[in-house]
């Protein structure tokens, strides 16, 4: 039994002014990405790793780069075949400039090469936008059931295990797909609190029903202005009637819960969050600068939050971080301890905000492939990076000489707090800050998504009508 492994993982914000290019992607070839699958030895099969392409969420992918990735994958697939199965490690929300539904295009092309008899299985992020074309071409699907994502390895293992199971038992599973007309940000649909917690926990019950192999629910990716942007459910199994019923049940459950989804923490404007934080009895307050979250597709260089902290003369704060290669170079040339004048941020995303003129002192420089600088600007320690990056761990800030919990306000460019930050934060707020991944989705200038769609069309009605694919 021979199984090819590869995939494409990127979340593309179509409202971002950036394009994801060669410098943004890492292409893993051959054995270089096998550590993502520590469970392979449990299967009696030959696994052939081909190509896995990954980038930090950002803007649409350059069409020439996508064509290169697709061509290389297809060439490797042809040259190393034939295969009994293909496992695809995907995201589900990749957008390519000039093309809708990149995953659908890639999987359809793979299907043309391997033929109709070869089984294709895929694991996906629950923030993917799953199209009809994807479900038509793929045989087995499984998505994360946690947000923040703590079950990524388990989901990959499940998708691969189901593929091996079907190959060993000569099963050709069917899929029941239902598109749910809801577009909500992941920050409101976290599985850490209700109703997301219960909605996702109920999927495990579907898995135990005879005739069902997997039940998956996608909340979708709201910042992609393309027709497929939507929540959806797919139930994979061997009994058409059962999987159709379960897909309808899951879709209805999500629809019924739609008005109950919330952010889980107090939300407000930048200034409101700063005011609440300063008045809070807790010694330290973490605030999400959600509109410029680089792990959702933001540019990571919008300086609006920093500007308000400086203007309000906040005496103890951290901002993690602002991407600005030019500012990093100036700080490196000046050296630790030097005073620097910077035109900070607003270069990757000049639409949301222009650069912010600031003067401060260089506290630390950590040279690396993505050099990091800590600058003291008034009462604010700001992390400046050569390239945009998230700060999901307290240790990442400590490595730069910053003890975040010693500061009254810690601003992180993020949506919901990732587990390590959430555990550390004495109190947390989420700022509905401007940016390409604006959480206030009613003010997003959608033009191409299919309407009606909740919450853009609050009075709409809907009933699930799953479609069966075999």
107-148 pLDDT, tens digit per residue, is 999 999 999 999 999 999 999 999 999 999 999 999 999 999
SS3 463: coil
Tokens, residue 237: 């199994």
In terms of phi and psi (left: phi > 0; alpha: psi -120 to 50; beta: otherwise), the region of 349 is: beta
Q: What angle do CA 351, 354, 359 make, to 5 degrees?
A: 155
Residue range 383-393, pLDDT digits in tens: 999 999 999 99
pLDDT in tens, 167-207: 999 999 999 999 999 999 999 999 999 999 999 999 999 99
Burial 132-166 (b: 16+ CB within 10 A, else e): ebbbebbbbbbbbbbbbbebeeebbbbbbbbbbeb
The tokens describing 467, both together, are: 């479609």
Per-residue burial over 358-394, b if 16 or more Cβ lie within 10 Å, else e, is bebebbbbeeeeebbbbbebbbbbbbbbbbbbbbbeb
Q: Across the chain, what does the average pLDDT equal?
A: 97
Q: Are 276 and 300 in contact (CB under 8 A)?
A: no
What is the structure's pLDDT at 23?
93
SS3 73: helix
C-alpha of 30 from chain center? 25
Q: Are 322 and 355 in contact (CB under 8 A)?
A: no
Digit-coded pLDDT (tens) for 248-274:
999 999 999 999 999 999 999 999 999
């Amino acid at each position: 039994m021979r199984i090819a492994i590869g995939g494409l993982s990127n979340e593309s914000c179509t409202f971002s002014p950036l394009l994801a290019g060669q410098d943004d992607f890492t292409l893993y070839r051959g054995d270089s990405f096998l550590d993502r699958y520590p469970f392979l030895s449990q299967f009696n099969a030959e696994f052939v790793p081909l190509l896995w392409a990954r980038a930090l969420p950002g803007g649409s992918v350059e069409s020439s780069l996508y064509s290169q990735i697709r061509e290389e994958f297809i060439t490797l697939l042809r040259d190393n075949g034939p295969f009994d199965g293909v496992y695809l490690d995907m995201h589900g929300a990749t957008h390519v400039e000039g093309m809708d539904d990149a995953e659908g295009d890639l999987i359809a092309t793979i299907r043309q090469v391997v033929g109709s008899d070869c089984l294709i299985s895929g694991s996906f992020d629950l923030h993917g936008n799953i199209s009809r074309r994807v479900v038509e071409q793929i045989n087995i699907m499984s998505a994360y059931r946690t947000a923040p994502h703590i079950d990524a390895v388990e989901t990959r293992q499940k998708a691969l295990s189901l593929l091996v199971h079907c190959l060993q038992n000569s099963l050709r599973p069917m899929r029941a797909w239902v598109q749910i007309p809801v577009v909500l940000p992941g920050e409101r649909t976290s599985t850490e609190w209700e109703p997301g917690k219960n909605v996702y926990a109920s999927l495990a019950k579907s898995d135990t029903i005879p005739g069902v192999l997997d039940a998956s629910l996608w909340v979708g990716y709201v910042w992609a202005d393309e027709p497929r942007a939507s929540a959806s459910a797919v139930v994979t199994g061997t009994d058409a009637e059962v999987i159709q019923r379960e897909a309808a049940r899951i879709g209805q459950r999500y629809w019924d819960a739609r008005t109950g989804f919330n952010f889980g923490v107090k939300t407000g404007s930048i200034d409101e969050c700063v005011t609440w934080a300063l008045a809070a009895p807790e010694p330290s307050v973490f605030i999400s600068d959600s509109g410029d979250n680089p792990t959702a597709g933001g540019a990571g260089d919008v300086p609006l939050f920093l500007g308000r902290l400086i203007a309000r003369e906040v005496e103890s704060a951290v901002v993690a971080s602002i991407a600005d290669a030019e500012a990093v170079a100036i700080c490196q040339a000046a050296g630790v301890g030097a005073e620097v004048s910077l035109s900070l941020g607003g270069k990757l995303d000049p639409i949301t905000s222009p650069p912010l003129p600031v003067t401060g002192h260089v506290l630390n420089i950590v040279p690396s492939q993505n050099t990091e600088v800590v600058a003291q600007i008034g009462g604010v320690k700001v992390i400046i990076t050569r390239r945009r990056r998230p700060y999901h761990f307290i240790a990442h800030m400590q490595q730069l000489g910053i003890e975040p919990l010693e500061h009254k306000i810690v601003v992180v460019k993020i949506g919901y707090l990732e587990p390590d930050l959430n555990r550390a934060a004495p109190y947390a707020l989420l700022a509905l800050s401007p940016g390409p991944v604006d959480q206030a989705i009613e003010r997003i200038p959608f033009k191409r998504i299919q309407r009606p769609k909740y919450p853009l069309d609050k009075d709409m009605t809907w009933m699930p009508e799953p479609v069966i694919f075999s």
